Structure 1
Amino acid sequence: MNIQEANVVDLEPVKLFISQVSAVDVLPHFNVQGKAEYQARVLPDIITTFDVERFQTLKVVDSGEIVGFAALRDGNYLTHLFVSKSLQGQGIGKQLLSALLETTDAKEISLRSSVNAVGFYESYGFEVTGSEADFNGIRFVPMCLVR
């Protein structure tokens, strides 16, 4: 398993990977409206993460397959972090997050965590900065890491 920069040729495999992980780990936490919003706006918007002027993107590859993906916008906002369900709990997410954060010297990194991932981010040192919120049925918890 190795962590590599992702680039635009990875777009379709990344979209498929995120769709598969989201179906198991993210969508079950949303209501009908949230599921529709996520599928209509969030998944198609993945293409924006390949804008190299604003984003740093990394992928984890194992046996030629993408098993992890993360994106950092403007050096201080984590927009995506996904690991295959079958590999979660093995430290891959923390390795991926560490590698991504090594690409920036920002003192604060913020994100909107899926409700199911709050514990993961807390274990890395992120702190909850507000109450659970809902945007068009998509539930999230605002968090921040101060370094």
Structure 2
Amino acid sequence: MEIQKVTPTDLEAVMVLVKEVSEVDVLPLFSLQGQKEYKERVLPDLTKAFDEERFLAIKAVSDGKLLGFAALRDGNYLTHLFVSKSSQGLGVGRQLLHFLLNATEAKEVSLRSSVNAVGFYERHDFVATGEEADFNGIRFVPMTLVQSE
């Protein structure tokens, strides 16, 4: 498996990956309003992660197959981390996360974790900075990692 920067030609494959993972792991945890909001705003927003001025967006690939996608905005905010269903539990998410954390000089990295991913982030030393919240039916837990020097 290799970790590589995404290119504009990866957008379609990334959209498919995120949509497939979201349908199983994320959307069932949202209200109908949240599902609608996610499909109408969050998924189309993926294109923003390909803006190299604000984002470091990476992919995990093996034998030409996309296994995962992650993006860090402004060096301190993790906006996306998705791993294909067939690759979950194999360390792909860990490798994507560590690549991004090693690539930033930020002392603190924050995110809004999907409810289903809180345990993953806790295992990687992120801590909840507030209670589970809901924005337009989209449930999340705010989390932060303070990196040691």
TM (norm. structure 1) is 0.98
* Larger mean Cα displacement after TM superposition, 59-68 or 115-124: 59-68
Give 1:124's aligned residue: 124
For structure 2, the 5+ residue unaligned runs are none
For structure 1, the 5+ residue unaligned runs are none
Q: Secondary structure at the match of 1:57?
A: strand
Give 2:110's aligned residue: 110
Distance in structure 1 (CA, Å) of the matches to 2:24 and 2:4? 24
Give 2:92's aligned residue: 92
The one-letter code matched in structure 2 to 1:113 is S
Give 1:34's aligned residue: 34
Quote the offset at 1:2 in angstroms.
1.1
Contact 2:130–2:143 (Cα < 8 Å) also in 1:
yes
Between the two proteins, the alignment pairs up a number of residues equal to 147
Distance in structure 2 (CA, Å) of the matches to 1:48 and 1:8? 11
* 1:18-59 CA distance string (max 9 Å, x none): 101111111111111110000000000100001100000000
Q: Secondary structure at the match of 1:102?
A: helix
Contact 2:15–2:43 (Cα < 8 Å) also in 1:
yes
Q: Secondary structure at the match of 1:21?
A: helix
Identity %: 64
Quote the offset at 1:109 in angstroms.
0.1
Quote the offset at 1:88 in angstroms.
1.2
Distance in structure 2 (CA, Å) of the matches to 1:101 and 1:57? 12
Quote the offset at 1:125 in angstroms.
0.3
Distance in structure 2 (CA, Å) of the matches to 1:118 and 1:76? 18
Distance in structure 1 (CA, Å) of the matches to 2:73 and 2:136? 22
The one-letter code matched in structure 1 to 2:23 is A
TM (norm. structure 2) is 0.96
* Larger mean Cα displacement after TM superposition, 70-79 or 16-25: 16-25
* Larger mean Cα displacement after TM superposition, 86-95 or 103-112: 86-95
Aligned Cα RMSD in Å? 0.7
The one-letter code matched in structure 2 to 1:53 is E
